[in-house]
Amino acid sequence: MLDQFQRKIEYLRISVTDRCNLRCIYCMPVEGVQWMPHDSILSFEEILRLMRISTQLGFRRFRITGGEPLVRKGILDFLREGAIIPGVEDFMITTNGLLLPKMAFDLKAAGVQRVNISLDTMDSERFRAITRVGEVSSVIQGVFRSLEAGLDPVKINVVVVRGVNTDELPNFLKLAKQYPLHVRFIELMPIGISSKQRADFVPIQEMKELLGLKENILTQGILGGGPAEYVQPRGFKGSIGFISAMSRHFCDTCNRVRLTADGKLRPCLHSKNEVSLRDALRNGTSDEILRDLFAQAVWHKPAKHHMNDEALQGQRVMSQIGG
Ligand code: SAM
Ligand code: SF4
């Protein structure tokens, strides 16, 4: 469907849980956050109903995220049902990868087409420093299991944080050269606990310099039209990309809205304006009225984000929104 600014909105990111088996420094405090009470989290049946309603409004692309989506009990059954909803054309998941060694083939069998894996470092000590728990070897194994399982493409999301992993960018470049992996370097966003860490922010331009990429290489083979700028340098099996929410707005072409685990439709990642669908879902509201509520929230999607204005962002941390 179109919003009031004539943008075609067809992409729904669904957070199925706020729980996570990691505690990444830029995402969650070490002690975790106050978890949402179980009964406030949408059941899978409720999420599937909203997916069906959204397809009637023209939504075609769905990304399952969290917290960590693979820790939620029953996730594979949910994915199996979501994948076959008429109108679902693109069905993907974002994960920290820890559980992929045992789940990659199951995801593929359930109908998930592609996977984004968050991996900011390939060094085990540094991984611990960033995620506070977990073994990087499991994530790396998960990356290769995903390739073997035929999830395609497998994308690696690298959040670049000054003084934490800036020196590792060339290693990720090598990874994209050797394997058919799409490595995307992401600017740190000032959300939740990261809102006070702006000294850590590395702009895309600086990342390109750290990678030693020349602009003339960058203009070869741009692969995508979305928020990521993709490049496939000659001789690479994979590609690299840059996602800049801060130094380059992509609000004009934004095509997505988000559903939080507690049933709020969030038209912009960076705006605290949310519409609760949970109560409507639970008090016998018809599909027709739910569809209207959904459509109204999408229609009122803001023209652009106000990420630099903390008062407008709201209190959620990234793990509660889903990235
Ligand atoms: N747990 C899953 C994972 O880590 O992939 C899915 C949820 S996580 C919130 C989604 C993405 O948001 C991850 O790639 C993570 O690196 C990214 N993220 C979290 N906090 C961020 C921040 N402040 N700035 C940029 N990206 C962030
Ligand atoms: Fe968990 Fe993902 Fe947040 Fe890391 S980025 S704490 S893995 S939700």
- Three-state SS for the chain is CECCCCCECCEEEEECCCCCCCCCCCCCCCCCCCCCCHHHCCCHHHHHHHHHHHHHCCCCEEEEECCCHHHCCCHHHHHHHHHCCCCCCEEEEEECCCCHHHHHHHHHHHCCCEEEEECCCCCHHHHHHHHCCCCHHHHHHHHHHHHHHCCCCEEEEEEEECCCCHHHHHHHHHHHHHCCEEEEEEECCCCHHHHHCHHHECCHHHHHHHCCCCHHHHCCCCCCCCCEEEECCCCCCCEEEEECCCCCCCHHHCCEEEECCCCEEECCCCCCCCEECHHHHHCCCCHHHHHHHHHHHHHCCCCCCCCCCHHHCCCCCHHHHCC
Cis? peptide before 233, omega within 30° of 0: no
Task: Provide, rounded to the nearest whole percent, the portion of the chain with pLDDT above 70.
Answer: 87
Write down the pLDDT at residue 105.
98
Round to the nearest angstrom and report the end-to-end CA distance of the chain: 22
Residue 240 CB contacts under 8 Å (≥ 6 apart), including other chains: 172, 173, 176, 182, 183, 184, 185, 211, 230, 231, 232, 233
Please state, rounded to an integer, the average pLDDT across all residues of the chain: 89
For the segment 94-115, the average pLDDT, to the nearest whole number, is: 98
Q: Is the CB of 28 under 6 A from ligand 1?
A: no
Q: Is the CB of 165 under 6 A from ligand 1?
A: no
Residue 317 pLDDT level (bands cut at 50, 70, 90): low
Question: Residue written as tokens 């790396």?
Answer: 140
Nearest-atom index, ligand 1, CA of 317: 20
Ligand minimally distant from the alpha carbon of residue 322: 1
The model carries a pTM of 0.93
Which residues partner with 276 through β-bridges?
A: 264
For the segment 199-207, the average pLDDT, to the nearest whole number, is: 89
Write down the pLDDT at residue 282.
96
Using the predicted structure, report yes or no on whether residue 94 has a pLDDT greater than 60. yes
Q: Is the CB of 319 under 6 A from ligand 2?
A: yes
How close is the Cα of 285 to the center of ligand 1, in Å? 33
How close is the Cα of 221 to the center of ligand 2, in Å? 31
How close is the Cα of 1 to the center of ligand 2, in Å? 31
Torsion angle (degrees, nearest 10) of CA 254, 260, 263, 266 = -30
Q: Is the CB of 189 under 6 A from ligand 1?
A: yes
CA distances from 169 to 149, 180, 214, 250 (A): 27, 17, 15, 24
Q: Which of 65, 71, 96 best tests ligand 2's pocket when mutated (most atoms within 8 Å of CB)?
A: 96
Q: Is the CB of 260 under 6 A from ligand 1?
A: no
For the segment 107-118, the average pLDDT, to the nearest whole number, is: 98
Q: Is the CB of 319 under 6 A from ligand 1?
A: yes
Ligand minimally distant from the alpha carbon of residue 323: 1
Cα separation, 233 vs 268, whole angstroms: 33
Residue 221 pLDDT level (bands cut at 50, 70, 90): very low
Q: Is the CB of 26 under 6 A from ligand 1?
A: yes
Using the predicted structure, report yes or no on whether residue 219 has a pLDDT greater than 50. no
- pLDDT tens for residues 167-199? 999 999 999 999 999 999 999 987 766 666 578
Residue 249 pLDDT level (bands cut at 50, 70, 90): low
Bigger pLDDT: 234 vs 169: 169
Residue 227 pLDDT level (bands cut at 50, 70, 90): low
Question: Residue written as tokens 């087409």?
Answer: 113
Q: Is the CB of 318 under 6 A from ligand 1?
A: yes
Residue 220 pLDDT level (bands cut at 50, 70, 90): very low
Using the predicted structure, report yes or no on whether residue 153 has a pLDDT greater than 50. yes
Instruction: Tally Cβ neighbours within 10 Å of residue 306.
Output: 14
Using the predicted structure, report yes or no on whether residue 278 has a pLDDT greater than 90. yes
Q: Is the CB of 27 under 6 A from ligand 2?
A: yes
Using the predicted structure, report yes or no on whether residue 95 has a pLDDT greater than 80. yes
Burial 86-116 (b: 16+ CB within 10 A, else e): eebeebbbbbbbbbbbebbbbbbebbbbbbb
Q: Which two tokens stand for residue 48?
A: 């599937």
- CATH value of 11-321 in 3.20.20.70, 3.30.70.960, 3.90.1150.10, 3.40.30.10: 3.20.20.70
Which of 104-108, 184-188, 232-236 has the weakest average pLDDT? 232-236
Using the predicted structure, report yes or no on whether residue 6 has a pLDDT greater than 50. yes
- pLDDT tens for residues 22-71? 999 999 888 878 889 999 999 999 999 999 999 999 999 999 999 999 99
